[in-house]
Amino acid sequence: MNYEVYLRNDEGKRGSLVNGIVSVTSLMRFNQPVKWTITGAGLEDCPLADNARIAIFRDGKLQYCGYVNSKETKYDAKTRIYDWEVSGLSDLGKLSDRLTYPDPAVTPPNPNDSYSATGLHSVILLNAIDINAGANANSNRRDEKLIISEQRPVGDTETIDWKLDSLLKMVQDSLKSSEIQIHETWDLSNGTWDIKIGNPQDVSDKVIFSVDNGSISSWERTVTAPKANYLIVTGCQDDNKQYLYTRVWDQASIDKWGRIEGVVSRSDIKRIIEKDANNQVTYEEPWASVMERLETAAYEELEKATAKLGYKITTTEVNRNVYQEDYDIGSIVSVRIGSDEFFAKVDEIKITYSKGVETITPSIGTMQKGELQSVFTELGTLKEQIKVLQKGM
């Protein structure tokens, strides 16, 4: 396995090769920019300038492009050796350099204003990126290298509100309530990068991580009690100024852990009202439809709150379990550990390359910021366990 790091020139294309590389570490997490660290040593100072743009290749294939945001250099006068470490993010991190303007045409923005859009989830998010950082942003806010290609819309119909905030944070916060995935692609022949939003790839029928087939060399299991297994979930107010609400619970969890009550406000579940150019109402969503969306949201909230069983596994590549050939970040795979068999998302992959040796560690249900990000229940599919709005509970 061989890694190469190239500078990108002012046109965004591949430039000169970076010499003196000792190690490359890449940390990929679901719906987050790649975090990378490169170390090097030699008789020359660090060849990467502040905010340099780079391209990382693995066996001649482009892995990702990124930019420098941290650099440390040490010099030993006796040996005359420079040791340096450079860290940064993939280009997706550049979205944190932009704000979500309530009205992208107004500069400066009014911090008290807000923006609301209704439509398919991916369409809203891609449009938000486009008008705040892409080709349709004001010229002084535009990332000239960023394009947003035509792509098939995915996700449910949503109403998304935003105020003046980080563009990347808004996108990531919105994606927490869905299973759709944002990812980047690059075209170094013309120096552009593209943002795509789609559904994770389900390869669970062919990619099976198991001790028995030799693809798991070690594993760690984490079990946490539920934050709640009986939820009251509220939405918007109806015509009578009464808040819509529903109740959901996981009876299997209650039997095991006891009843743990909680309440969640889903103020984002609002009635969809469309108007024409003359501000005349052309469509009013039936309240029954609003309730259906609230009940769907309640399932989501219960799944977030339920007991969690998470695994972090260290793998060994075997036939049909090869990184990037068979699975990648966000892929849905099968895992078999003892009596536990389940489908789960690969929500983190850490790759370390040093002295010609590459180590790949995918994680399922790994700890991130104190919470399990990929979750599943011990007793099967939530939809089979949950009874919604049963009277007398």
In this predicted structure, what is the pLDDT of residue 365?
Answer: 52
Per-residue pLDDT averaged across 292-296, rounded?
A: 92
What would the two tokens of residue 272 be?
């969809």
Residue 386 has pLDDT above 70, yes or no: no
> Binning pLDDT at 50, 70 and 90, where does residue 221 land?
confident
C-alpha 195/C-alpha 132 separation (Å) is: 14
Half-sphere exposure of 379 (CA within 13 A, CB side): 16
Sequence ranges of the domains in the chain: 3-89, 98-198, 208-224+308-384, 230-304
Residue 216 has pLDDT above 50, yes or no: yes
Per-residue pLDDT averaged across 218-234, rounded?
A: 90
In this predicted structure, what is the pLDDT of residue 114?
Answer: 87
> Which of 202, 204, 252 is CA-nearest to residue 381?
252
Report the predicted TM-score, pTM, of the whole model to 2 decimal places.
0.76
Whose tokens are 């969809």? That residue is 272
> Which of 374, 375, 383, 11 is CA-nearest to residue 192?
11
Strands 146-147, 192-198: parallel, antiparallel or unpaired by DSSP?
parallel
In this predicted structure, what is the pLDDT of residue 343?
Answer: 84
C-alpha 355/C-alpha 358 separation (Å) is: 8
Sign of torsion over alpha carbons 34, 35, 41, 45: positive
What would the two tokens of residue 304 be?
């977030």
C-alpha 145/C-alpha 143 separation (Å) is: 5
Q: What is the SS3 assignment for 383?
A: helix
Instruction: Write the CA distances from 210 to 257, 308, 326, integer angstroms.
Output: 29, 20, 15
pLDDT digits (tens, 9 = 90+) for 149-208: 999 999 988 888 888 999 999 999 999 878 899 999 999 999 999 999 999 999 999 999
Cis peptide before 108 (omega within 30 of 0): yes
Sign of torsion over alpha carbons 269, 344, 252, 263: negative
Structural class in CATH, domain 98-198: alpha beta
Per-residue pLDDT averaged across 375-382, rounded?
A: 30
* Within this chain, domains 3-89 and 98-198 share the same CATH topology: no
In this predicted structure, what is the pLDDT of residue 27?
Answer: 96
Residue 392 has pLDDT above 60, yes or no: no
Report the percent of the chain where pLDDT is more than 90. Answer: 61
In this predicted structure, what is the pLDDT of residue 376?
Answer: 31
C-alpha 140/C-alpha 149 separation (Å) is: 21
Per-residue pLDDT averaged across 215-230, rounded?
A: 88
In this predicted structure, what is the pLDDT of residue 378?
Answer: 28
In this predicted structure, what is the pLDDT of residue 131?
Answer: 95
CATH of segment(s) 3-89: 2.30.300.10
In this predicted structure, what is the pLDDT of residue 132?
Answer: 95
CB 318 within 8 A of CB 290: no
pLDDT digits (tens, 9 = 90+) for 91-139: 999 999 999 999 888 888 888 888 888 899 999 999 999 999 999 999 9
C-alpha 140/C-alpha 158 separation (Å) is: 30
Q: Which residues share a beta bridge with 154?
A: none
CB 326 within 8 A of CB 349: no
Residue 317 has pLDDT above 80, yes or no: no
Residue 369 has pLDDT above 50, yes or no: no
C-alpha 4/C-alpha 21 separation (Å) is: 8
39-44: which pairs have CB atoms within 8 A and are 24 or more residues apart? Answer: 39/83, 39/84, 39/85, 39/86, 40/83, 40/84, 40/85, 40/86, 41/81, 41/82, 41/83, 41/84, 42/81, 42/82, 43/80, 43/81, 43/82, 44/19, 44/20, 44/82
> Which of 220, 214, 198 is CA-nearest to residue 125?
198
CB 328 within 8 A of CB 201: yes
